[in-house]
Amino acid sequence: MPNCLNCESFVTEQYVRVFAPTGMETVRVCPRCEDKLRDGAEVREAHSPRHTNR
């Protein structure tokens, strides 16, 4: 099962296929990451913490 490299939360294989860079088996950041965001092909620090429903 793939996990987010940042927060180690479970991510689906479909999510990895869509959002992981080519050749990677998992994602660098996921929707549950409160401290980082995807910004195009890059990952950046969030300007303010996001609160997600867990």
Q: Would you say residue 3 has pLDDT above 70?
A: yes
Mean pLDDT of 16-38: 88
Tokens of 54: 């867990």
Mean per-residue pLDDT of the chain: 84
Q: Would you say residue 54 has pLDDT above 80?
A: no
Cα torsion through 1, 14, 26, 43, rounded to 10:
-140
Look-up of token digits 């992981």 = 20
Look-up of token digits 């996001």 = 50
Backbone angles phi, psi at 17, to 5 degrees: -60, -35
Question: What CA–CA distances, in Å, run from 42 to 1, 14, 19, 27, 53?
Answer: 23, 20, 11, 11, 24
